[in-house]
Structure 1
Amino acid sequence: MTALQSRIEGHILTPTGFVLGVLTLDAQGRIADISGTPVATAAVRDSGAPIVLPGFIDLHVHGGAGHDIMEGGDAALHVATLHARHGTTSLLATTMTAPQSDLDAAFAAMGPLCKQRAPNAARVLGVHLEGPYISEARLGAQPPFARPASFDEIHRLHAMAPIRLITLAPEVGGNHALIAQLVAEGFKVQLGHTTGSYEQGVAAMRCGATGFTHLFNAMSALHHREPGMVGAALAHAEFAEVIPDLLHVHPGAIHTALRAIPKLYCVTDSTSAAGMPDGDYKLGRHTVTKCMGGVRLADGTLAGSVLSMDQALRNLVDTLGLDLADASRRVSTYAADHMGLQDRGRLAAGAWGDVVVLNRDLALQAVLVEGHAVRLN
């Protein structure tokens, strides 16, 4: 990374709205001050001034640049570097359902990267353990190594690299009984890859589960007599992930979730095929094929995405019609809120200098991670 930036000028999105002014950073890479004149959101794209938003936060990243998190080695660094070039300033490296030995190797490799910021890369905040504690009947693109949750396994993996988020199916084995203890120990728990009923979803939330993994995908659907896990999310959730690549979820379903779930936020669920040409790539132990803008298994099942967070922002604004401030919150602030991070996902004094600068077409012009500029090419 280059030296710390000291100031950025433009239309700056603060927690109270846009201002046309200056953002100043201190020597530690945190925001020292924001000053300026309030501006209506609707007017921001009409001006030639740069648009300054909080850096994007992606809590569900499997890969990118031809590398898969489950490879171990320096794969996570390559992934974090690719996504930083698309405006992601912090992320959770996301694992696949896999045998214990595969998870051990991936976690051992990620541990050092979670401890320090790497040059020109997104900050890796920790791990999203997506499975293996999921339903065999709702694997989606996950390999067939699902099993009930194990505290011993979670604690052992957590000692190698910090687990920040755990996806589980509450109906599997003794998973429901473990939720409250996991939450008490500081793990965030969300529900996904599940055949669970509406009632099981509500019960899991009462025990402390707070989110839903890629809402609508790989979970029991909404029916007016059997509301399913989707119904539990729409009726009761404050937080849920959604993949806004316009392949995984119809725009109408996203609009439904936007009306029902206050802090619906975006993830990419990106694979090693992100940022790469069409062809075959790895997703855990699966081989997946990128073509026609998506990633699929041989049987046609969607297998993650090639979405980037800057494209997610453009999809929210230009296709779904969200105003820019709302869209920004759904690619930054709400994910930070879900993880309890008050110093990321927002541009305010004291927060980290995680910043993206865009033009009126919402194309990236600059990215700062903790105050340091990222090379975009």
Structure 2
Amino acid sequence: MDAEQLGSDIVQSQRAARFADTTADQWAERLTALIKAQPGTSGPVAVTNVRPVGTAAGGSNGTMLFDASYSESGARQDRALVLRFLPAEGLFHKYDVEGQYALQRELGKAGFPVPEQLWLDSAGDHLKVPGYVMEQVAGNGPPMVWKASGLIAEASPPSRRKMTTSYVAHLAKLHAIDWQAAGLDWLANRAAGANPVEREANWYWDALKWADFEDTVAMFAPVRDWLIAKEPANIDVVLCHGDINLGNYLFKNDAVSAVLDWEMAFLGTPECDLAMINVGDAALQGHVPTPEGALTNAEICAEYERITNRKLRHMDYFELFGSYRATIITTLAMKHYPAAMTDAMRPLYESTLKMCFDRARALGAVAGEV
């Protein structure tokens, strides 16, 4: 399996499914209507250069870049902006566009680097689908398979070190945000359950049932049940990004300039995010060596512990939890993508499935072969 090509193909297939038959001109008309409807905007509105995003970020939601000219409070504005919208064909059973908008507004208030959120069209009155507009942040992002090519792979070793260290620092900063003071307790309603992992395990379980994968539901039942029964007690509950692939981070001058893609954010533990780094790398680029200078996964964990003065715990458990999530995502993708893409993805699906159940057997969660 060519991990680099597969990563690119996944992004392209996601975009094709998101946009359906809507043209750039149609999006321009809708965006113009949305901007004209905003309080304080006036004068002629021009929306131009509507195009898909060119990086790994923005794959799960629909994402378009565009330029807009308009007047606001009497001053002319010429801005590079981003549209995020409910996808025509979603990978998951739920896409809370309004929640994503609200979450990023609160993160911005807390000083965390996310794009400024500008306008929400939660009912799709102007966009014809629920969506929102935010600023386009200066910076570049690596591809999903970041070790093989792109921004980090092609940088110098010192720059790689700075970028990956900045990545860890921002993960620690995210986990330090007081999510209760920020009014983000509504994230506890993502799915049923009394505890963080139970809720998130159920969120992915609900996605499997929604996709009508009866055989897969039966296969994953023991893993889900074990994760819920063995969830560690006395854990630190933090805001987790949920999708922490480096492709969702923008960099400028070797430092993080923005963190993107918050549709998978949830209330969990620091280990949920850190373990998912190991799981994601093993699935997508397990045979690709870490470029010289970039932090290895072990160094990422060590740097996180140094910054936070907190020891990561129960990592075997949380890596199984991450594998459970990753395997369900690839299972959903096998149904979601066209036949040519599912053939290309099959090795990834099979490797994540094997990884999940190898971990489950090692921990005593299941017995026998899948």
TM-score range, shorter chain: under 0.3
- Which one has the bigger strand percentage? 1
Q: TM-score, normalised by structure 2?
A: 0.27
Tell me the TM-score normalized by structure 1.
Answer: 0.27
Q: Which has the larger radius of gyration?
A: 2
The structure with more helix, counted as a fraction of residues: 2
